[in-house]
Amino acid sequence: MADYVLVHGAWHGAWCWKRILPGLWQAGHRAFAVSLSGVGERAHQIGTPITLQTHVEDVARVIEAEELDAAVLVGHSYAGMVVTGVADRMAARIRHLVYLDAVVPNPGESWSSRHSPETQRDRRAQISQHGSLPPAAPTAFGLDGEDAAWVQRRQTPQPGGVYDSPLQFDGARVFSLPKTFIDCTDPALPTVAASRQRVRSEPGWQVVEIPTGHDAMISAPRELLAALLALA
């Protein structure tokens, strides 16, 4: 039996793992989906100060409260930043680190660091105007039809304070953990390009490709579930 902790990306919530959790439970594992502060069912917190460290704390508290000692920690998209911070804080309690089409940061970087200047400019302008980042269109994640409509009505604005929030961590401690990058290749999300290149150029990475869009937990749950179960 393994313990899984699933951390969603920007604009999402624990709801996005709805098609993954039952399969993990049926296989005999424990699995916990975290909703980060300010999004999902915690969207009412959007007006409070929220930074990357707030989200790191959200996940760390779940690991502590559930007394997990060998967790498979999964971070989707933006949450690559979050799970990196968690692994730095409690590496001894992490069994495997999974970046699901996610940001793989260097020490001192923020979520924004590897975005293009155009993306940085546009997102900072949105944050300046709204205090948050309005949700991206689900079509950007390769979704259409009922799946796109489901995500569209569930997404909530992303707290603006996390965008340029830097993460200081011990890279040797974090990346010495067993680690897997799950690459969603069709269509490939441009903002994840730097991470895709990095994990193929550095030793120690297992790379799993799934021919689907960025929200694999929605568009390819069977394939993603198989990839996660293989790590148990």
Task: Note the pLDDT of residue 229.
Answer: 98
Q: Considering the domain 3-229, what is its CATH architecture?
A: 3-Layer(aba) Sandwich (3.40)
Tell me which of 35, 37, 77, 219 is the catalytic residue. Answer: 77
Task: Note the pLDDT of residue 47.
Answer: 85
pLDDT tens for 132-147 read: 999 999 999 999 999 9
Please choose, from the candidates 59, 95, 90, the residue with its C-alpha nearest in 3D space to the C-alpha of residue 178: 95
Task: Note the pLDDT of residue 59.
Answer: 98
pLDDT tens for 162-190 read: 999 999 999 999 999 999 999 999 999 99
pTM for the predicted model, two decimal places: 0.97
Residue with tokens 């704390």: 57
Question: What residue spans define the domains of the chain?
Answer: 3-229
Tokens of 75: 């971070």
Question: Sign of the C-alpha dihedral, residues 110, 10, 159, 15?
Answer: negative
Residues forming beta bridges with residue 72, ordered by sequence position: 4, 96
Task: Note the pLDDT of residue 164.
Answer: 97
If one counts every other C-beta atom within 10 angstroms of the C-beta of residue 39, the result is: 29
Tokens of 24: 């993990």
Q: Is 77 a catalytic residue?
A: yes
Low-confidence stretches of the chain (pLDDT beneath 70) = none
| CA atoms within 13 Å, Cβ hemisphere of 58 | 27
Q: Pairing relation of β-strands 132-133 and 158-159?
A: antiparallel
